[in-house]
Amino acid sequence: MKEVNIDLLEKLNFKQTIFSYLGKVKDYYFEIVEQEDAILAISFSYFQNDAKSKIFEYFDEIQKNGVIKQYEVNKDRITVFYNENSDETLEKFFDNLTLQFSSIEMKNKCFICDNTADLSFYTLGLKYSLLCKTCADSAIAKLQDSKNTKNNYLLGFLGSVLGALVGSVLWIIIGLLGFIASIAGAAISYCAFKGYSLFKGKLTKKGIVLNIVAIIIAFIFAQYIGLYFDFKEAIAGADFGLYLMFTPVLFSDSEFLLGLLPNLGLGILFIALGASTSISNNFKAAKNNEELKIEKIDL
């Protein structure tokens, strides 16, 4: 962005965020995002009235003159792509634009409802929305209620274990085919978190740990079932009951345990590769949820 335009936005008390500038010119709220090739994407919400076609006619005119590259309309939100290299300065652009708005009595509106009064920008994590006070207060109350709701870790953990066990079926099937694949680990992880959510577990850092425990349980279960099929193949006519009876004997044999290590090591590697992305993404989401707050941006 040109230095003269940065100075103008500072003069107009625009607030710089990570991705954009938020501010107010006269009675109108704007969000500005810097793009390539000296283009500024200037967005604003508007309450649709019978004279809205006039503002589009105005945009068509200044597009022909090179002031804007183009404009986009998405329901009740308009984005114009201002050309910093045009003959019309950004200050003059805002003067003319707000004059056009005033002439047709165009107003900004709340992103949630159609209210045009008592508007302000509010932050929700890395997102910014123009809200009326009623909608903002309602969103703040709902967020606070969600944070105050007690988390049922026990029920969530039960759902996570059940989900992980369902996901382990893919691991078992792939194992029977003689392969180990990280996609099976991803399936176990996905089903674990899905089960946790379905059983009303809230996504927190403690919840992530419980899901990791559930994934480990499912991995051990899948390995155990895989050994059963090896056992059944080695002993003709063996069933699961016999396998259960021989389990203590098998796992007390040091040579048997040493023989498991290569396959177990590969299994741990692939379960880690498959589940790591899901665990990482959910951990970030849990951290964001715990730190999430809605705040008014004073302009």
The pair phi, psi for residue 297, each rounded to 5°, is -100, 115
156, two tokens = 């969530």
5 pLDDT band, cuts 50/70/90, is very high
pLDDT, tens digit (0-9, with 9 covering 90-100), for 112-132: 998 999 999 998 877 889 999
18 phi/psi in degrees, rounded to 5: -60, -40
> pLDDT of 126-184, one tens digit each?
788 999 999 999 999 988 888 888 888 999 999 999 999 999 999 999 888 877 778 89
| HEC profile of the chain | CCHHHHHHHHHCCCEECCCCEEEEECCEEEEEEEECCCEEEEEEECCCCCCHHHHHHHHHHHHHCCCEEEEEEECCEEEEEEECCCCCCHHHHHHHHHHHHHHCCCCCCCCCCCCCCCEEEEEECCEEEEEEHHHHHHHHHHHHHHHHCCCCHHHHHHHHHHHHHHHHHHHHHHHHCCCCCHHHHHHHHHHHHHHHHHCCCCCCHHHHHHHHHHHHHHHHHHHHHHHHHHHHHHCCCCCHHHHHHHHHHHHCCHHHHHHHHHHHHHHHHHHHHHHHHHHHHHHHHHHHHHHCCEEEECC
Q: Which amino acid is at 109?
A: K
**pLDDT-above-90 percentage for the chain:** 61
Identify the pLDDT of residue 262: 85
Q: What is the pLDDT of residue 281?
A: 93
Residue 47 in contact with residue 108, Cβ under 8 Å?
yes
CA-CA distance, 128 to 130, in Å (whole number)?
A: 7
Q: What's the pLDDT tens digit per position in 29-75?
A: 999 999 999 999 999 998 877 777 889 999 999 999 999 999 999 88
pTM to 2 decimal places: 0.66
Average pLDDT over residues 251-275: 87
What mean pLDDT is reported for the chain? 91
As beta bridge partners, residue 129 has 122
End-to-end CA distance of the chain: 21
For the sheet with 77-83, list strands across it. Answer: 15-16, 21-25, 28-35, 39-45, 77-83, 68-74
The identity of residue 271, as a single letter, is I
Token reading at 113: 């409802």
Here the tokens at position 17 are 């965020």
Between CA 192 and CA 171 the distance in angstroms is: 14
Going by pLDDT thresholds of 50, 70 and 90, the confidence category of residue 6 is: very high
Q: Which residues contact 258 (CB under 8 A, 6 or more apart)?
A: none
The yes-or-no verdict on residue 193 having pLDDT over 90 is yes
| Residues contacting 60, CB < 8 A, separation 6+ | none
| Distance between CA atoms of residues 122 and 100, nearest Å | 26
249 Rama sector, left if φ>0, alpha if ψ -120 to 50, beta otherwise: alpha
The percent of residues above 70 in pLDDT, for the chain, comes to: 100
Tell me the mean pLDDT in the region 225-237. Answer: 86
The pLDDT confidence band at residue 289, using thresholds 50, 70 and 90, is confident
Convert the pLDDT of each residue in 89-106 to its tens digit.
Answer: 999 999 999 999 999 888
